[in-house]
Chains A and B, each alone.
Chain A
Amino acid sequence: MAEAEQKEQKLKLYANPICPFAQRAWLALEIKKVPYEYVYCDLKNKQDFFTETYQKALGAAEGSDGKVPIIKATDGKIITESTIVARYVDYVYSDETKYGPPLLPKDAFERAAVEIMIDWFGDSGWLRFHYGTLMQCDKEKADASVVDWKKKWGLLNERLKQFSDKGLYLGDNKVSLFDIVAYPFFERLITIQHYAKYEILDKWMEEFPRVKSWYNTMQELEAVKKIKQKDEFFINGYKSYRERGEAAYKKEQEQKAAAAKDDK
């Protein structure tokens, strides 16, 4: 088969390295060593191929012109939504001799436990705390939010002990869909550390040793190391989020000052 044809047959991943959701799909592909072609999508200036592909994608949000990740499977089917893409990859590339163990374990109880963790992570409001802390320039409000977020860290710390007291959720290096779904946000904690000045990666993590063990184990995975971005890349990439937070804070302060003036 000609090389051009071979390229055509490869799975295409439409993504952007800044995006934690895209990283879920990217990790799934790398961990399972699925051959793929990475198609870079500009999130600020969306290229036509990006928006056109998104429009055709199963799961496309009605109110969006383009989100990553998207995959175009070898049979031409186009699918979006990060967790669904990861599930799809895991389901289709199921030959263990080629692609390794599944991200949803074979054991029914372990499988249920992984599903529980995925749902819990989503329902816990983790992302709201993550982005909220990144963007909150009012120190008092940020500190209060951190108190609440740390409660979730505490719950995560306990839940991670289900199968093992160290390593990934299932123990050791046994990667599951939960690890893939959660990890990208931990890789971006450096942005909160940088902009909001919380020592998350050292002092804070020390308070949650089981989480720390999970995080460190993820960082040692070949696939994770391969696609990891530099701290500076994330810090730069999330600058605009912080700036939005600063603008909101400034507006709040101005409104407060105006209100105080009216009261006099």
Chain B
Amino acid sequence: MAEAKEDQIKFYSNKICPFGMRAWLTLEVKKIPYEFIHCDLKDKQDFFKEAYAKALGHAEDNAGKVPIILHKGKYIAESSIVARYLDYVFSDEDKYGPSILPKDAFQRAAVEIMVAWFGDSGWLKFHYGILMNANPDDQAKSVVDWKKKWKTLNDRLGEFCDKGTYLPNNQVSLFEICAFPFFERLCTLEHYCKLEIYSKWMDEFPRVKSWYEALLENEGFKKCLSKQEFLIDGYKGYREKA
């Protein structure tokens, strides 16, 4: 049965944005048909700003943020919410695979805990903080503090299995979707901050390394990966502010 045109997803995003990537990963992992509409984040197009103004969840003080989706005539913003929405609507497992929130109540709670922990841990503040601070002493201190979070993550990832994704059987969950984009962008910290994150640093956290490498092999994730040069170039502006 052909899906009604209204049922197709219009996906407003920009490949540089890790938040946009959360929604993108969900679309690809679940093989949901969509149209990618590129949004210029520096010179926001009118259609972008109009879509955002109409979007459920739009921030009152912002002209336009990605991701946004348009589905059945409604615009929805906010990366995690978009991911949850897509997962909930496209729930036919025969067509779209397993849900990113597991059926088992305990595993589901565990995924929710990881998503909440990642948000509350200050991970993003460390990530952008280090990228944007050129002071080597500040950087050294931040790295020490951030590695404490890496250790916690390393331990928590061991809940169900000792390698691969958080859930057993390389089952992608909302946690992978929320966290992975920032791990892909560690290359910008490697480049600008001269930190050997993918090698020495990750070797200190083998469970995290195993998690990250498993995701690089995931079919859906592979569709959304960007070249390192693209990301490094894209974050130049952040570093220049430092």
Q: Which A residues have a C-beta under 8 Å from some C-beta of B?
A: 58-59, 62, 73, 77, 79, 81, 83-84, 87-88, 91-92, 108-109, 111-113, 115-116, 119-120, 155, 158, 162
Contact = CB atoms under 8 A, between A and B. Distances in A.
A48 B113 CA distance: 24
Interface string B88-110: 11000000000000000110111
B56 A79 contact: no
Contact of B56 (A81, A83, A88, A109): A109
B184 interface: no
B88 A111 contact: yes
Interface stretch (B46-54, B72-80, B191-199, B211-219): B72-80
A84 B112 contact: yes
A112 B57 contact: yes
Given A87-B109, A92-B105, A108 B116 contact: no
Contacts of A162: 56
A115 B113 contact: no
B106 A58 contact: yes
Contacts of B110: 58-59
B60 interface: yes
Given A81-B116, A84-B112, A116-B56, A91 B81 contact: no
Contacts of A58: 106, 109-110, 113, 159
Contacts of B159: 58
Contacts of A113: 56-57
Nearest to B55: A116
Nearest to A77: B106
Contacts of A92: 105
B78 to A, nearest CB: 6
Most buried by B among A92, A109, A112, A116: A112
29 contacts: A58-B106, A58-B109, A58-B113, A59-B109, A59-B117, A73-B105, A77-B106, A79-B109, A81-B113, A81-B116, A83-B116, A84-B112, A84-B113, A87-B109, A88-B109, A91-B108, A108-B85, A109-B56, A111-B84, A111-B85, A112-B76, A112-B81, A112-B84, A112-B85, A116-B56, A119-B81, A120-B57, A155-B60, A162-B56
- The main secondary structure of chain B at its interface with chain A is helix
B61 to A, nearest CB: 9
Contacts of A88: 105, 108-109
A162 B152 CA distance: 39
Most buried by B among A77, A109, A111, A116: A116
A81 B117 CA distance: 10
Interface residues of B, number: 24
A119 B74 contact: no
5 A-B pairs closest in CB distance: A116-B57, A59-B113, A112-B85, A88-B109, A84-B112
Contacts of A155: 60
A150 to B, nearest CB: 14
A115 to B, nearest CB: 5
A9 to B, nearest CB: 16
A33 to B, nearest CB: 18
Contacts of A158: 60
A62 B88 CA distance: 32
Contacts of B108: 87-88, 91
A87 B84 CA distance: 14
Contacts of A109: 56, 74, 76
Contact of A119 (B78, B89, B112, B113): B78
Interface in B110-131: 110, 112-113, 116-117
A257 to B, nearest CB: 33
Interface string B147-175: 00000100100010000000000000000
Given A108-B89, A109-B74, A115 B81 contact: yes
A87 B81 contact: no
Interface in B22-70: 56-57, 60
Given A58-B110, A62-B152, A91-B105, 16 more contacts: A59-B109, A59-B113, A73-B105, A79-B106, A84-B109, A87-B109, A88-B105, A91-B108, A109-B76, A112-B76, A115-B84, A116-B56, A119-B78, A119-B80, A119-B81, A155-B60
Contacts of B152: 62
Contacts of A108: 85, 88-89
Nearest to B110: A58
A87 B112 contact: yes
B7 to A, nearest CB: 12
A158 B60 CA distance: 10
A59 B108 CA distance: 12
Contacts of A73: 105
